[in-house]
Chains A and B, each alone.
Chain A
Amino acid sequence: MPFFNTQLKFASDIIAANISILVILVAAVIYISLAKKWKMTWMLVRTMDHRKIGILYIAWGFVFFLRAGLDAMLMRTQLAFPDFKFWVFQGDKYDQVMTTHGTLMIFFVAMPFLIGLMNIAVPLQIGARDLAFPFFNSLSMWLFVIGGLLINMSFVLGGAPSTGWTSYVPLAVDKDIVGNGTAFYDMGVQVSGIGTIMTSINMITTILKHRAPGMGFMKIPLFTWSVLITSILILFAFPVLSAALLILLFDNQFGTHIFSGENGNPVLWQHLFWAFGHPEVYIVILPAFGIFSQVISTFASKRIFGYSSMVLSMLVIGFLSFMVWIHHMFTVGLGAFANVVFAITSMLIAVPTGIKIFNWLFTIRGGSVRFTTAMLYALAFIPSFVIGGVTGVMQAVVPADYQYHDSYFVVAHLHYVMVGGTVLGAFSGFYFWWPKMFGYILNDKIGKWQAWTFIIGFHMTFLPMHLSGLQGMPRRTFTYLPEDGLFEFNFISTMGAYLMAVSVLLFLWNVFYSYRKKPRHGVADPWDGRTMEWAVSSPSSHLRWPYLPVVRDLENLWYEKDHGDGTLQFSQKAEKRIVVEKPTIIPLLLSGGFFTISFGLIFEVPLITIAGFIGTLLLMAWRSITYEQSIELYTSEQLEEAIRREEA
């Protein structure tokens, strides 16, 4: 079937995907109609509240998580037996599934999970009423959604990207092989990247400018510190990707040959990609570190051990993350000197990370530990992440890396840090902040089942991959032969992957079950919290703090519980100008504009692109002109009254 300069083919898997998309859409429409939630949906897509935007981030992230997880199941099934032929997932299809799995998991699952939690917790932790720019917050979120949808749509619209999440050239720009796939990857990541850069600017400005009175830099809770450092990393790393993707777009769609051809330079793409790509892995791990710091100190009922060294080590990790990217390119042949320098800087990162691990252990030591689900995830994280870190240092040894390179050993390592760090951190954060997000607690018993199945499944999947990698199994291949002796390892990995899938379904069941059963009162401070987010109601209200809270200690709420009456002290200073943004649909429309631009670029229809650009610019102008009407101004007294009215 012809479709905007391309041909759509209807193979069995595409038809299945089409049908499932239709079924999900119809089911969603029917559910919203039956439950009479159209008005709520309309409110939700226009919201400017940081908590709701955070929830939307996480909800969309979870949708993409299920899709990318399904990809993982397909891959693991294909690899379960030697020389196996599962459905259509061999060769090109396997490559497509593998690429969407990687791209989605990193850009559209790990990032939104963490950014969602940042949205929910950061303003509360620092005593701000919202982020500095709620409008941009909403816009960032919708841009991320559009980017994710673009990557997801590629499967049914003429070919998904198939060159791995790294999208190495010249393969990626060879249209005979990849078709429109690279264009989908390029625009999807580019659009969401713009949103991510805006989020980082928003977060840094919020943390620098909107802290409550009394909160000096060394009184910022560790999660917020990690967000600040992560945001700085995003700010300097993502633009490199934007530039690289811009060049890739030109190589792919406009006939330039910067990365390919006889005169191009494919290694330049690798440099640009990894100059972004390595900070990126710290972007997704540092907030997880922050979450674990909060969770461990809360459930060990102790102040975090070595707060200042925690902050310092995060700063060092952030700094070093920009000078290690060559360790992804040891086998390119950049010379012994470059390899040695980057081997040393890569190994150095283990030092601050080790400091953090020990600080967490010392925090637990002597504390009265409560084994909730969130704490269980945090405790599972420590050994899992140490394994991932150690294999990382092993790969920093250049001669050894020549052996590990491009084998399943690397796959095992990256999943140990990504899943063992980021995903465990995200789950821990979900269980921890769920009351703050929705006003009810997730069931602890189901939660523990979920945590244990996830942790066991995770180790079952990825521990054998170290061994299959050392036996020489190359990554990104869709099968192996019976005489390779890899069957046992792969079979165990596949079983582990299924167990993780069960665990994710258990999580969904837990959300549903707890929503039905749990009482909704007494959840403002269910964990005997230590930082300020536990001093407001659950779920946190949009209008709050007519007078800003005063910060007297790092663990402000705990300090008040210990020294005061257990409630926050408020500033006496009345403010004259409190800006609250009214809900607006413009962010969603703007992201629609970006979608139109991307669509035109991907299918090479200039008219659509131009229409998208004009629409986007007009919307931006419209927002600028109506700015004065789109905000509400309060003084402290007026805000107090507004809150009273809302509660009544």
Chain B
Amino acid sequence: MGVETNVENSTETLLEYASPRKTAMFLFICAEAVIFGSLFATYFVMLHHLGDGPGPKEFFKFKEIILPTILLLSSSLTWYLAEKTLHVREKGKTLFFIGLTVLLALGFLSLEMIEFLKNIGDGYTLSRSPFISSYYLLVGLHGCHVLFGILWMALLLVHVKTKGATVANHGRFVSFGIYWHFVDSVWVFIFLLLYGLGQFL
């Protein structure tokens, strides 16, 4: 007995279905925000624990982070479009926009990997100084979230392809949308507080 066999796909069932999921997802985001908040706090405590490593001004290269930032933030927009096109049941467009979001996220992630590798090449390894460790922990955890998001989107691609615009898929899209916008907004904070503020410290 599938979800769609005996229930009409009305707005009411949609709301009824999505509402607890939305609540749970927002609560999950609260927990995530606390984790990231703790890591931000750790980062700021570690700001002066430099050892023989570089300080933030030397370490962060502001210009190189602009492109990945644009990629990641525009992925929020493409995801929004994916969600809206699913809403009006244009399956082809939905698939296209999910693909685009995946590509943008992959672009962001590969640029971040390049930055990490470059850092390691410069001798700024994970255990160089507590300051750099806290940077890797925070940005690395965010990167893991992006990676998880990419895998999640791949799964959603399968769901839309096989099942189309069903109630369950709407629920899945709502949940992922909350997650993805959150991951993007964490990046805004990383961009501003680490890379941006780092130029002035």
Spell out A's residues near B (CB within 8 Å).
Answer: 132-133, 197, 200-202, 204-205, 208-210, 235-236, 238-240, 242-244, 246-247, 250, 254-258, 261-265, 268, 272, 275, 576-577, 617, 621, 624-625, 627-629, 631-633, 635
Contact = CB atoms under 8 A, between A and B. Distances in A.
Contacts of B13: 576-577
Interface in B13-39: 13, 16-17, 19-20, 23-24, 27-28, 30-32, 34-35, 38-39
Q: Is the interface of B mostly helix, strand, loop or mixed?
A: helix
Contact of B155 (A236, A256, A625): A625
A255 B127 contact: yes
Contacts of A247: 39, 42, 134, 137
B166 to A, nearest CB: 8
Given A240-B34, A258-B42, A272-B38, A246 B137 contact: yes
A275 B41 CA distance: 12
Contact of A239 (B6, B23, B31, B130): B31
20 contacts: A133-B24, A201-B31, A204-B27, A205-B20, A205-B24, A205-B27, A208-B23, A235-B31, A239-B38, A242-B35, A244-B38, A246-B137, A246-B141, A247-B39, A250-B126, A256-B133, A263-B129, A264-B49, A576-B7, A624-B172
B3 interface: yes
B96 to A, nearest CB: 22
Top 5 A-B residue pairs of the complex, sorted by shortest distance between their CB atoms: A243-B38, A239-B34, A256-B133, A255-B127, A263-B51
A135 to B, nearest CB: 12
Nearest to B17: A577
A227 to B, nearest CB: 14
A577 B16 contact: yes
Contacts of A275: 38
Given A201-B27, A205-B24, A632 B1 contact: yes
Contacts of B35: 239-240, 242-243, 246
A624 B45 contact: no
B2 interface: yes
Contacts of A246: 35, 39, 137, 141
Contacts of B159: 624-625
A621 B38 contact: no
Nearest to A627: B168
B45 to A, nearest CB: 5
A256 B16 CA distance: 47
Contact of A255 (B2, B45, B126, B151): B126
A624 B176 CA distance: 13
A200 B28 CA distance: 9
Nearest to A208: B23
Nearest to A275: B38
B88 to A, nearest CB: 22
Which residue among B35, B51, B126, B168 has the maximum number of chain A CB atoms within 10 Å of its CB? B35
A243 B27 contact: no
A247 B151 CA distance: 25
A353 B50 CA distance: 45
Contacts of B51: 262-263
B158 interface: yes
Given A235-B27, A264-B49, A633-B7, A210 B20 contact: yes
A145 to B, nearest CB: 21
B46 interface: yes
